[in-house]
Structure 1
Amino acid sequence: MAAFAHGFPFDPAYGHTREELLRVPAPAPPADFGAFWRSAYEAARQVDTAPEVGAPVEERDGVRIHEVSYLSVGGVRLGGFLALPTEGPAAHGFVIAHGYGGRDHAGPDVPLPLPRSAALLPAVRGMSSGSLIPGIPSDSAAHVLHGIASRDSYVIGECVADLWCAASALHELVPALGPLGLLGESFGGGLGALALPWDDRFAAAQLTVPTFGNHPLRLTLPCTGSGESVRAHHREHPEVTAVLRYFDAATAASLIRVPTLVAPALFDPAVPPPGQFAVYNALPPGSPEPHVLSAGHFEHAGTEKERRLLTEACARFFAEHLA
């Protein structure tokens, strides 16, 4: 087990060895899991995203970064950033989902995994200044509960649709792009796993410390992330388990059919590692081996080295599966 000195009132490794983590299963889907998500995807594909690109705000690492906005389901206009090559046409395209900190800049998601790439980096609804929506809380503890009483109103489903609409907007802005790559970390990793099975525009994906994996298990594990808010809500509203079954990233991962590189952590106070590994474990046979991190959501002496090695692994992965 990963061992770090910490001040948390619980064990962020949750007593699991790597071997035990590699055996954490995914929950079985509800009978209409596929029908629910295919209907949501079809609705998102009907949206005219009407993207609008602003003036460049930054240029670095071979791309020019613009503010961008686009329409998503429900007629909401969302913000984000568009990265375009500084020289020549884009040969590759990416949608890059953010964590529960939101997105007010392109940040460490640039440089992109491959040179000569374009990317849309959306801020999903309710998160960050460009995507604030009246009635949707912007802090993660409240955001993750918004609409949770019903699968049809739960904000997580709408956030997944925001990624699908981001792909539509990117293809409209850069029509020459072929199949896309999808990247997501933490909150964005969970959204990515939920989005991938239904959208054949994505040819490969990389998910880092993904959340929303194996909700029945997550509800038993204390944490410092949004899962703790869901745990507290569940104690007062146990019926919410029926809704969460439709938003389980591990359940969805069992239906992913494109190469997906998962980077789960052995120690993580915000997103319990058993849930992260459940996402990886659910992938079909022949999927890439996991890129295991010693810790997630936790700074330690080896953090920078691990980030660099993951960046290099991500570049190799997309060079093989997207180039």
Structure 2
Amino acid sequence: MKDAMPRFDLPPADLRAYRPDVAEPADFDAFWRSTLAESRARSEAPRLTPVDAGLTTVDVYDVTFSGYGGDPVGGWFIVPAGAEGPLPTIVEFNGYNGGRGLPHERLAWASAGYAHFFMDTRGQGSGWGTGGVTADPHGTGPSVSGFMTRGVEDPDTYFYRRVFTDAVLAVDAVRSLPQVDAERVSVSGTSQGGGIAIAAAGLSDGLVGAMPDVPFLCHFERAVGLTDRDPYQEVVRYLSVHRDAAARVFETLSYFDGVNFAARATAPALFSVALMDPVCPPSTVYAARNRWGASSGSTPAADIVEYAFNEHEGGSGAHWPRQARWVAERLAGAGAGG
């Protein structure tokens, strides 16, 4: 095992109280209302195709649903074999530049009795893992290699406008499936997937819970100046060339900051954070967790698990059992069963 880097962020006690001022556009809510309304107007019913994945304990479906602008987005829908539902459901989002992979890599939630939808991230899926299938058919102008700066000088053209819209419409699509109990849907994801889950929680109503695991895409201005790791360094490299664009870039990023979505969340959350994480610095995670529900008119709980001696791997496989217990407790507390 490689040596972990030393802690470089705030002391743990300061992290737990960290509530920074994060830029929030005056038209943040209007921007997202119009974005979602435009794409929902072009949505079609999701298409499910049964897949023989060589698995006997689960049923697997290849899914295509309508995302941003009506674009087709892929995913896997996996349920316990023979299940008719309606089942509590987990919608999961993936890490940076990973794809939906293969069905046998996504068995935990269905094995625990849930329906599980794993969304493919548009344009990604070629950096690690076993691939993705979803194109991103939109041009973005000049950008640094990667996804962080694609269209970053205008919120209308920014890459994550499309991804976050896909995520919300994934929740919509899942709720329309007969195997799914639309009142018992949770969202989850690790790293980029955690950031997407935060956005989905801030933009979707009626979720049971959100489980952002070492989330990315939070408190951009601090992250870009604090860590020397990608993907945040993509923004640094872009601004090192486009020297006069910083104000425009950070204004765009404010429409996509996980802290602002977290403030609008109405469902309870279970975060995780790694205190030696150089990719998603712990203060950026706590910035989102400590604002959870602050602007939503409700008071959802935001639990957090600290992994004191881990980097960006966080709790890895040790964290899923905590998530499974947590979401089961939320369902039981709602009188819905697990």
Give the TM interval when normalised to the shorter protein: 0.7 to 0.9
In structure 2, what is the Cα distance between the partners aligned to 1:83 and 1:48?
22
Offset at residue 141 of structure 1 (A): 4.6
Q: 1:20 aligns with which of 8, 14, 24?
A: 14
Question: Bigger shift: 102-111 or 221-230?
Answer: 102-111
State the AA in 2 paired with 1:297: H
State the AA in 1 paired with 2:149: L
Offset at residue 136 of structure 1 (A): 6.1
Residue equivalent to 1:196: 201
| CA deviation vs aligned residue, 1:140-187 (integer Å, no higher than 9, x gap) | 952221111101111101101111121222223336522211011110
Tell me the TM-score normalized by structure 2: 0.82
In structure 1, what is the Cα distance between the partners aligned to 2:206 and 2:166?
15
Ranges in structure 1 where 5+ consecutive residues have no aligned partner: none
Match status 1:156 vs 2:160: yes
Matched residue of 1:31: which SS?
A: coil
Residue equivalent to 1:97: 93
Match status 1:121 vs 2:118: yes
Offset at residue 265 of structure 1 (A): 1.2
Alignment coverage as a number of residue pairs: 309
In structure 1, what is the Cα distance between the partners aligned to 2:56 and 2:292?
33
CA pair 271-57 structure 1, distance change in 2 beyond 3 A: farther
Question: Bigger shift: 98-107 or 226-235?
Answer: 98-107
Matched residue of 1:290: which SS?
A: strand
CA pair 309-105 structure 1, distance change in 2 beyond 3 A: same
Residue equivalent to 1:234: 239
Offset at residue 109 of structure 1 (A): 4.3
State the AA in 2 paired with 1:280: R
Residue equivalent to 1:131: 134
| CA deviation vs aligned residue, 1:79-118 (integer Å, no higher than 9, x gap) | 2211122133232112110111322224654311783321
State the AA in 1 paired with 2:275: L
Residues 190, 249 of structure 1: 8 Å contact kept: yes
Residues 189, 208 of structure 1: 8 Å contact kept: yes
- Give the alignment's Cα RMSD to 1 decimal: 2.6
In structure 1, what is the Cα distance between the partners aligned to 2:236 and 2:326?
35
CA pair 265-156 structure 1, distance change in 2 beyond 3 A: same
Offset at residue 203 of structure 1 (A): 2.2
Identity %: 23
In structure 2, what is the Cα distance between the partners aligned to 1:107 and 1:292?
29
Structure 1 runs of 4+ with >6 Å offset: none
Matched residue of 1:80: which SS?
A: strand
State the AA in 2 paired with 1:245: S
Tell me the TM-score normalized by structure 1: 0.86
